[in-house]
Chains A and B, each alone.
Chain A
Amino acid sequence: MNTIKIGLFFIFVFSVIPNVAFSDETSAKKWVKTAEDTMALAESTVKELIEKGIEEISKRNDAVREEWKSAGQWLSLAKKKLDEAKKLCIDKKWDECENIANESWQYLVKAATAAINAGRAAGIK
Chain B
Amino acid sequence: MKIKEKTKNINQKIAAVGLFLSGIIVGTTIVATVSAQRETDKVLEIAKARGLNPDHIEAALKTYHPTGMKDEYIMFSSGGHSGQVIVIGIPSMRILKYIAVFTPEPWQGWGYDDENIEILRGDLCDPQRAKLTWADTHHPAISETNGDYDGQFLFIGDKANSRLAVISLKDFETKQIVCNPLGNSNHGAAFVTPNSEYIIEPSQYAVPQGGRYAPIDKYAEQFRGYITFWAFDRAKGRIDTEKSFAVEVPPYWQDLCDAGKGPSYGYAFCNSFNSEMATGRKTLDSKEPPLEVGVSANDMDYLHIINWKKAEELVKAGKHKEVVGVGGFKFKVIPLDVAAKERILVFTPEPKSPHGVDVSPNGKWIVVGGKLDTNVSVYSIEKIKKATEANKFEKTDRYGVPIIAFKDALEAQVQIGLGPLHTVFDDKGFAYTSVFIESVVAKWKLEEWKLVEKLPVHYNIGHIAAAEGDTVAPDGKYVIALNKWSIDRFSPVGPLHPQNFQLIDISGPKMKLLYDMPIPLGEPHYAQVIKADKLSPWLVYPEVGFSPAKMKKSAHAVEFGKEKIVRKENKVEIYMTAIRSRFTPEIIEVNQGDEVTFYITNVERAREATHGFALGGYNVNISIEPGETGSFTIKADMPGVFPFYCSEFCSALHLEMAGYLLVKPKK
Contact A106 B293 (CB under 8 A): yes
Contacts of A102 in B (CB 8 A): 289, 293, 296-297
Is residue B418 within 8 Å, beta carbon to beta carbon, of the partner chain? yes
In the complex, what distance in Å separates the CA atom of A93 from the CA atom of B451? 42
Residue of B with least CB distance to A10? B418
Query: Is B198 at the interface (CB under 8 A from chain A)?
Result: no
> Smallest distance from the beta carbon of A54 to chain B beta carbons, Å?
14
Q: Mark B567-610, 1 if CB is under 8 A from A, else 0.
A: 00000000000000000000000000000000000000000000
Do A10 and B438 form a contact, CB below 8 Å, given A99-B293, A106-B293, A117-B487? yes
Cβ–Cβ < 8 Å partners of B288 in chain A: 99
The answer on a CB contact under 8 Å between B438 and A17 is: no
Does A15 lie at the interface of the complex (its beta carbon under 8 Å from any beta carbon of B)?
Answer: yes
Beyond A10-B374, A20-B299, is A112–B437 a contact (Cβ under 8 Å)? yes
Interface-central residue, B293, B436, B451, by most chain A CB under 10 Å: B293
> What per-residue 1/0 map shows which CB atoms of A20-45 lie under 8 Å from chain B?
11000000000000000000000000
Contact check, B290 vs A7: say whether CB atoms are below 8 A apart.
no
**In the complex, per-residue mask of A113-125: 1 if CB is within 8 Å of any chain B CB, else 0:** 1001100110001
Q: Would you give the shortest CB distance from A116 to chain B, in whole angstroms?
A: 6
Assembled-state Cα–Cα distance A106/B436 (Å) = 14
A109 in the interface (beta carbon within 8 A):
yes
Q: Which residues of B contact A6 (CB under 8 A)?
A: 417, 438
A11 adjacent to B374 (CB under 8 Å): yes
User: Could you tell me the dominant secondary structure of chain B's interface residues?
Assistant: loop
Count of inter-chain pairs, beta carbons less than 8 A:
93
Closest to A120 in B: B456
Q: Are A121 and B487 in contact (CB under 8 A)?
A: yes
A13-B418 in contact given A102-B289, A102-B296, A103-B293 (Cβ < 8 Å): yes
List chain B residues, Cβ under 8 A from A15.
374
Cβ-defined partner of B418 (8 Å) among A14, A20, A64: A14
Q: Decide yes or no whether B114 CB sits under 8 A from chain A.
A: no
The secondary-structure label for the interface of chain A is helix
Contact A17 B372 (CB under 8 A): yes
* Residue of A17, A113, A121 touching B299 (CB-CB under 8 A): A17
- Cβ of A109 and Cβ of B437 under 8 Å apart? yes
Given A109-B437, A112-B437, is A120 in contact with B458 using a C-beta cutoff of 8 Å?
A: yes
Q: Is B642 interfacial (CB-CB < 8 Å)?
A: no
Bound Cα distance from A7 to B415, whole angstroms: 9
Give the nearest-CB partner of A101 in chain B.
B293
Nearest CB of chain B from residue A46's CB, rounded to whole Å: 16
A99 to B296, CA, bound (A): 10
A61 vs B487: C-alpha distance when bound (angstroms): 12
Min C-beta distance of A84 to chain B, whole Å: 12
Tell me if A55 is interfacial: C-beta within 8 Å of chain B: no
Decide if B487 touches A3 in the complex (CB within 8 Å): no
Q: Please tell me if the beta carbons of B293 and A11 are within 8 angstroms of each other in the complex.
A: no
List chain A residues, Cβ under 8 A from B352.
Answer: 17
Minimum Cβ distance to chain B for residue A87 (Å): 14
Interface: A90 (CB within 8 A)? no
* B281-320 residues at the A interface, CB under 8 angstroms: 287-290, 292-294, 296-299
From known contacts A3-B454, A120-B456, A120-B458, infer whether A10 and B487 are also in contact, taking CB-CB under 8 Å: no
Q: How far is the CA of A10 from the CA of B451 in the complex (A)?
A: 15
Closest to A7 in B: B417
Q: In the bound complex, do residue B373 and residue A14 qualify as a contact, i.e. CB atoms below 8 Å apart?
A: yes
Q: In the bound complex, do residue A116 and residue B438 qualify as a contact, i.e. CB atoms below 8 Å apart?
A: yes
Q: B437 to A63, Cβ gap below 8 A?
A: no
Pick from B290, B451, B487 the residue with the most CB of A within 10 Å. Answer: B487
A67 to B485, CA, bound (A): 12
| CB–CB A113/B454 < 8 A | no
Q: Bound complex: CA of A13 vs CA of B485, how far in Å? A: 24
Chain B residues contacting A64 (CB-CB under 8 Å) are 488
Minimum distance in angstroms from A79 CB to a CB of chain B:
17
Residues in chain A near residue B297, CB distance under 8 A = 20, 98, 102
Across the interface, which residues of B come within 8 angstroms of A83, CB to CB?
none
Q: Which residue of B lies closest to A61 (CB)?
A: B488
- Give the residue name and chain of the A residue nearest to B486 (CB): A63
A103 with B289: CB separation less than 8 A = yes
Contact residues in A for B259 (Cβ distance below 8 Å): none
CB-based contact B437/A7 at 8 Å: no
The interface residues of chain A lying within 8 Å CB-to-CB of B374 are: 7, 10-11, 14-15
B293 CB contacts on chain A under 8 angstroms: 99, 102-103, 106
Q: Which of B292, B373, B440 contacts A106 (CB 8 A)?
A: B292
Tell me if B209 is interfacial: C-beta within 8 Å of chain A: no
The smallest C-beta distance from B396 to any residue of chain A, in angstroms, reads 17
Known: A3-B438, A17-B352. 10 other contacts (CB 8 A): A6-B438, A7-B418, A14-B374, A17-B372, A21-B299, A62-B488, A113-B436, A120-B439, A121-B458, A121-B488
Listed by A's residue number, 6 A-B pairs whose Cβ atoms lie within 8 Å are A3-B455, A7-B415, A7-B435, A11-B415, A61-B488, A102-B289
Closest A-B pairs by Cβ, 7 of them: A63-B488, A10-B418, A7-B417, A99-B289, A11-B374, A3-B454, A102-B293
